[in-house]
Amino acid sequence: MSAVPALGAERRLVEAASRLALPVALVAVFLLFSALAPGFLAAANLQSVLVNNFTLLSIVAVAMTFAVSAGGIDLSVGTAVDFASFAFVSLVLAGQPVPLALAAGLGGGAVVGLFNAVLIAGIGISPFLATLGTLFIGRSVQQLLTNGGNPVYLPPAGVPESFHLLGRGSLAGLPVPLLIAALVIALAAVILARSRFGRVVTAVGIEAEVVRYSGLPLKAHLAATYVLVALIAAVAGLVLTSTVTVYIPNSGNAFLLNAIGAAFIGTTLHRHGRPNIAGTVLGVLLLSLVANGLLMSGLNFYWQQVGTGLLIFTVLALSFASRKV
């Protein structure tokens, strides 16, 4: 009998070790690039990591985390980013007030989410295939809307002042886009971990049939999840457009793979391996630091993808290897 508590303690240790893989990797990457890449540690560089790499990806990855929590995936997050961006730009160009244009942008993203909701909750298509279809359709729609993919520029003169606040403004010394990302992260963390909706979504991801057999509306939760994912991604689209003052068709897909990577890396932080916002955010931070660090150390741009891939393997392998001990 005396071996039992010892085993329990050992298991707890192993569990803790497997959850440490992500934070340890983060610190290691930080130290590595501080040593290797001159200028990596400079305040200006670190701020640029946060604003240029982290902000938008963290919002999209947070969106993705909800889809993964519900046991699915959303390959069309980039489509929601683009649709939001397109609707926003179109209304600003048409001379509409910025708040209305922002609302339209969220609406543009919501259309993508509703479309997914119908496919997944209504018709019962698997999230992977449904959102893959949406991705393709969204791509064509954007090309049709822009004469084959021409960017829509906002002329610097024709844009109201309030527009710039969102993308380039700062509040109490902090860039507004970063503050928006922080707000999205905080709200998402509360919704996923503390709210009733988040609890049910988590249960759907773990065993959807149990949710149905418990008398809960499974389809409504699935539908709401994919609309929420698209709405959050739409926020990223709005921030993106405000920053660069241009809508480039199909540019949102650039976030897709990193968002998926971050959400799955993030699961290693959770005691039971569930998708979680804190983990996703650390995952995004890790990917952002690696991208920037590789760039700063003068490595060929194309090697960055290799670095990112190796890193994802390493974190997941460390976590699972220590779990199996």
Partner 1 sequence: MIQQSTQPIIHFQGIEKSFGGAKALSDVSLTVHRGTVHGLVGQNGAGKSTLIKLLAGLHRPDAGQVEIDGEAYDHLTPHLVESLGIHFIHQDRLLVPSFTVGEALFLGREPRIPGTPFLDRRQMQRRAQEVLQRYFGLSLPNSALISQLSTAEKQIVQITRALLDRPKILVFDEPTAALVKREADLLFTLIRRLRDEGITILYISHYLQEIEALCDVVTVLRNGRHVATKPIAETSAAEIAGLMVNRDIGDLFPIREKSPGAALLTVEGLSATGRYRNVGFTLYRGEVLGLTGLLGSGAKDVLRTLFGLETAEEGTVTVAEQAPWRASPVQAARRKLALVPEDRRRHGVALDLSVSENTTLASLPRFTRLGLVDRASEAAEADRLITRLQIKTAGREALLRTLSGGNQQKVAIAKWLSRHSDIYLLDEPTVGVDIAAKVEIYALIAELAEKGAGIIVLSSDLPELIGLTDRILIFFRGEIAREVVSDTITEDALLAEVTGSSEATRYVG
By the criterion CB under 8 A, which residues form the site for partner 1?
Answer: 190, 194-197, 199-200, 202-203, 206-207, 209-217, 272
CB of 30 or CB of 197, closer to partner 1: 197
CB of 31 or CB of 190, closer to partner 1: 190
Shortest distance (Å) from residue 102 CB to partner 1: 24
**Tokens 């990457």 found at:** 29
CB of 100 or CB of 190, closer to partner 1: 190
Kind of pairing between the strands at 174-175 and 170-171: antiparallel
For residue 175, which phi and psi values (nearest 5 degrees)? -65, 140
CB of 117 or CB of 200, closer to partner 1: 200
Tell me the two tokens of residue 158. Answer: 């024709």
Shortest distance (Å) from residue 133 CB to partner 1: 20
Kind of pairing between the strands at 152-153 and 174-175: unpaired
Among residues 279, 228, 182, which one has the least CA distance to residue 70? 228
Look at the alpha carbons of 257, 263, 266, 267 in this order and tell me if their dihedral is positive or negative: negative
AA identity, residue 60: V
Tell me the two tokens of residue 89. Answer: 């730009």
Shortest distance (Å) from residue 110 CB to partner 1: 20
Shortest distance (Å) from residue 281 CB to partner 1: 20
What is the C-alpha to C-alpha distance for residues 165 and 143, in angstroms, rounded to an integer?
A: 29
Among residues 181, 152, 148, 176, which one has the least CA distance to residue 163? 176
CB of 71 or CB of 105, closer to partner 1: 71
Q: Which residues pair with 170 in a beta bridge?
A: 175
CB of 168 or CB of 271, closer to partner 1: 271
Shortest distance (Å) from residue 220 CB to partner 1: 9
Angle made by CA atoms 111, 88, 73, in degrees to the nearest 5: 40
What is the C-alpha to C-alpha distance for residues 248 and 235, in angstroms, rounded to an integer?
A: 16
Shortest distance (Å) from residue 274 CB to partner 1: 8
Shortest distance (Å) from residue 213 CB to partner 1: 4
What is the C-alpha to C-alpha distance for residues 24 and 39, in angstroms, rounded to an integer?
A: 22
Asked if 284 contacts 262 with a C-beta cutoff of 8 angstroms, the reply is yes
CB of 160 or CB of 217, closer to partner 1: 217
What is the C-alpha to C-alpha distance for residues 129 and 119, in angstroms, rounded to an integer?
A: 9
Between the CA of residue 34 and those of 24, 45, 96, 272, what are the distances in Å? 15, 11, 47, 33
Tell me the two tokens of residue 249. Answer: 């068709």
Shortest distance (Å) from residue 194 CB to partner 1: 5
Shortest distance (Å) from residue 161 CB to partner 1: 36
Tell me the two tokens of residue 322. Answer: 């220590």
CB of 164 or CB of 212, closer to partner 1: 212
CB of 203 or CB of 259, closer to partner 1: 203
